[in-house]
């Protein structure tokens, strides 16, 4: 007993944190900057399961995106410092660091819906994060949003339910905005939709060292090195979680175990309950990831993700859920079981090849990914080519394991949402669902404070009920006002063309302008 206690004390206190640590960012521009830095680094760092820990000083330095011939100007005027160089609210003492920013996305464009309303998004909120000493870290964000979407986003968001319908049918009230959560209308039109929705995250953690920590909160995670993930993606909405990560052998071997509580949008009482807000059906989830990094340029990992039946909507049906072990289970209470491989190899410190392969042992569906990222050939440029394939039934628990139900969409009519690898009716992987092949080409470039981004997605969704082809193109450019908060002024154009057998197709052209703080991945390519 004494020996075990001494070992535990050594693990927790014997390996000291050398700097104030914070969780890494999950948003398009800053993720690219972090990955470019990691590709050039000679330091072992397990980054396959994000967010991961990074020092506050190092992350701010990376986000400045300085080049060899230019460094950001530092202002002495308080207003200009807050506008250009610093967080809006910042406290930096010897053992306490706190930084906060206003969060917003004010976007509108040249698109008018069926009743003459212009598409727009109006987001307001805040972001706070900080550290206490060198071990304790925390963060919280809140976003309140109203939107009028373009036609294709209407079709994605409202396909599962319509809060505009009257009559108290709670089983229709299951609409969710991808990446955010449930929506409600702020006016009631019959020929078009408007959406009111929020996003709130928060977490608190204790670092053992720069790669080992314990964290709990309400947020999202991402497993992989590409744009999509078939194992665990941040394209769904946040969920409560407890995460424990331990790293050995100077970061060469890392094991992560996360316990989460998910929900489907099925109310747990009968519709006769009336118009009151009711609790939805819950399910448990476990995510385990074993990462091996023999050298800074090469790493691979084994992923194990399970969803569990929740007894009386308050606890798992099996004590096995609480154990941190993975990969081998008795099967009692497990709904879905995703097992997969994730890996990357970085060549010449500028070319990263990566991939995933995954299998749902309960649904008998498979998914695969292969991609390459090029960091360069000039500073702050990233080019990416990625292929994704998702088979039918990959996110679905086939009862009886006979595989006779062919799933064509994320949550299919006539099936139970609780049988899916999902949260709030959004799958925890590729946001477009199943039965698809996707080729995506992405590029981004940062020249001092100016940036340009481009994305091309070619998707063939070979569903049984409604096969369709989708072409998605978005090009934008703008100016980074403040790299700390990722505040930007941007303008661009979104083009989407959908052709299917069951309808005449859908075409969207959306030029837009925006003033925003781009703090998380806001997926729009559906």
| Cα–Cα distance, 27 to 31 (Å, whole number) | 6
H/E segment holding residue 165: none
| Cα–Cα distance, 171 to 197 (Å, whole number) | 19
Nearest to 143 by CA among 520, 449, 409: 520
Nearest to 101 by CA among 451, 450, 487: 487
pLDDT at 298: 93
Dihedral through CA 429, CA 209, CA 62, CA 25, nearest 10? 30
| Cα–Cα distance, 92 to 406 (Å, whole number) | 56
Asked if 178 and 232 touch (Cβ cutoff 8 Å), the reply is no
Please give the DSSP secondary-structure letter assigned to residue 320: G
Q: What is the CATH number of domain 2-517?
A: 2.40.160.130
| Cα–Cα distance, 51 to 71 (Å, whole number) | 28
Please give the DSSP secondary-structure letter assigned to residue 417: G
CA distances from 292 to 12, 44, 310 (A): 22, 10, 33
Per residue of the chain (526 residues), give pLDDT as tens.
334 433 433 444 444 445 788 888 888 888 888 888 888 888 889 999 999 998 888 888 888 777 767 777 888 888 888 888 888 988 888 888 899 999 999 999 988 877 778 889 999 999 999 999 889 999 999 999 999 888 888 888 876 555 545 444 444 556 788 888 888 776 655 455 688 889 999 999 999 988 999 999 999 999 999 999 999 999 889 999 999 999 998 889 999 999 999 988 877 765 544 555 667 888 899 999 999 999 999 999 999 999 988 877 777 778 888 888 888 887 678 888 899 999 999 999 999 999 999 999 887 789 999 999 999 888 889 999 999 999 888 888 766 544 445 555 666 666 777 788 889 888 899 988 888 999 999 999 988 889 999 999 999 988 777 788 999 999 999 999 998 888 999 999 999 999 887 666 789 999 999 999 988 888 888 8
- The domain ranges of the chain are 2-517
pLDDT at 491: 96
pLDDT at 388: 97
Asked if 235 and 521 touch (Cβ cutoff 8 Å), the reply is yes
Burial of 20 (0-12, 13-18, 19+ CB in 10 A): buried
Give the pair of three-digit tokens for residue 212.
């080992």
Give the pair of three-digit tokens for residue 339.
């097992």
pLDDT at 229: 95
Residue 78 has φ and ψ, to the nearest 5°, of: -60, -45
Partners of 256 in the β-ladder: 245, 289
Residues 6+ apart with CB under 8 A from 80: none
Partners of 516 in the β-ladder: 105, 488
Please give the DSSP secondary-structure letter assigned to residue 419: G
pLDDT at 456: 97
């Amino acid at each position: 007993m004494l020996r075990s206690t001494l070992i535990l004390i050594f693990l927790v206190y014997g390996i000291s944190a050398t700097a104030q640590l914070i969780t890494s960012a999950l948003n398009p521009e800053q993720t690219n900057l972090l990955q470019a830095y990691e590709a050039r680094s000679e330091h072992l760092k397990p980054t396959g399961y994000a967010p991961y820990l990074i020092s506050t000083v190092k992350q701010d330095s990376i986000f400045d995106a300085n080049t060899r011939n230019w460094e950001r100007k530092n202002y002495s005027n308080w207003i200009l410092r807050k506008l250009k160089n610093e967080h809006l609210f910042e406290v930096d003492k010897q053992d306490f660091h706190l930084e906060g920013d206003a969060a917003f996305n004010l976007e509108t464009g040249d698109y008018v819906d069926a009743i003459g309303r212009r598409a727009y998004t109006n987001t307001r909120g805040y972001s706070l994060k900080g550290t206490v000493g060198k071990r304790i870290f925390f963060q919280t964000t809140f976003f309140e949003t109203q939107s009028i979407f373009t036609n294709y986003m209407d079709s994605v968001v409202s396909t599962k339910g319509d809060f505009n319908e009257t009559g108290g049918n709670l089983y229709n009230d299951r609409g969710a905005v991808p990446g955010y959560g449930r929506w409600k209308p702020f006016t009631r039109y019959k020929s078009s939709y408007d959406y009111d929705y929020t996003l709130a995250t928060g977490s608190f953690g204790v670092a053992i060292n720069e790669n080992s920590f314990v964290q709990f909160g309400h947020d999202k995670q991402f497993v992989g090195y590409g744009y999509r993930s078939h194992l665990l993606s941040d394209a769904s909405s946040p969920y409560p979680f407890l995460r424990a990560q331990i790293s050995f052998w100077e970061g060469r071997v890392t094991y992560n175990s996360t316990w989460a509580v998910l929900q489907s949008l099925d109310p747990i009482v009968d519709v006769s309950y009336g118009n009151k807000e009711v609790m939805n059906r819950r399910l448990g989830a476990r995510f385990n990831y074993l990462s091996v990094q023999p050298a800074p340029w090469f790493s691979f990992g084994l992923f194990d993700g399970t969803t569990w039946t929740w007894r009386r909507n308050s606890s798992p049906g099996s004590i096995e859920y609480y154990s941190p072990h993975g990969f081998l289970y008795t099967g009692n209470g497990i709904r879905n079981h995703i097992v997969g491989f994730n890996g990357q190899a970085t060549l010449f410190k500028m070319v990263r090849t990566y991939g995933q392969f995954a299998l749902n042992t309960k649904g008998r569906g498979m998914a695969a990914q292969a991609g390459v990222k090029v960091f360069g050939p000039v500073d702050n440029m990233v080019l990416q080519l990625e292929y994704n394939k998702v088979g039918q039934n990959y996110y679905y628990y086939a009862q009886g394991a006979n595989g006779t139900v062919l799933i064509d969409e994320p949550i299919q009519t006539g099936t139970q949402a609780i049988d899916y690898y999902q949260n709030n009716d959004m799958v925890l992987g590729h946001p477009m669902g199943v039965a698809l092949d996707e080729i995506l080409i992405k590029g981004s470039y940062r020249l001092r404070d100016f940036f340009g981004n481009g994305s091309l997605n070619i998707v063939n969704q070979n569903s049984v009920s409604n096969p369709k082809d989708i072409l998605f193109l978005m090009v934008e450019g703008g100016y980074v006002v403040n790299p700390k908060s990722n505040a930007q002024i941007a303008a661009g154009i979104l083009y989407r063309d959908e052709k299917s057998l069951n309808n005449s197709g859908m075409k969207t052209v959306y030029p837009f302008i925006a003033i925003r703080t781009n703090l998380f991945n806001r997926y729009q390519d559906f």
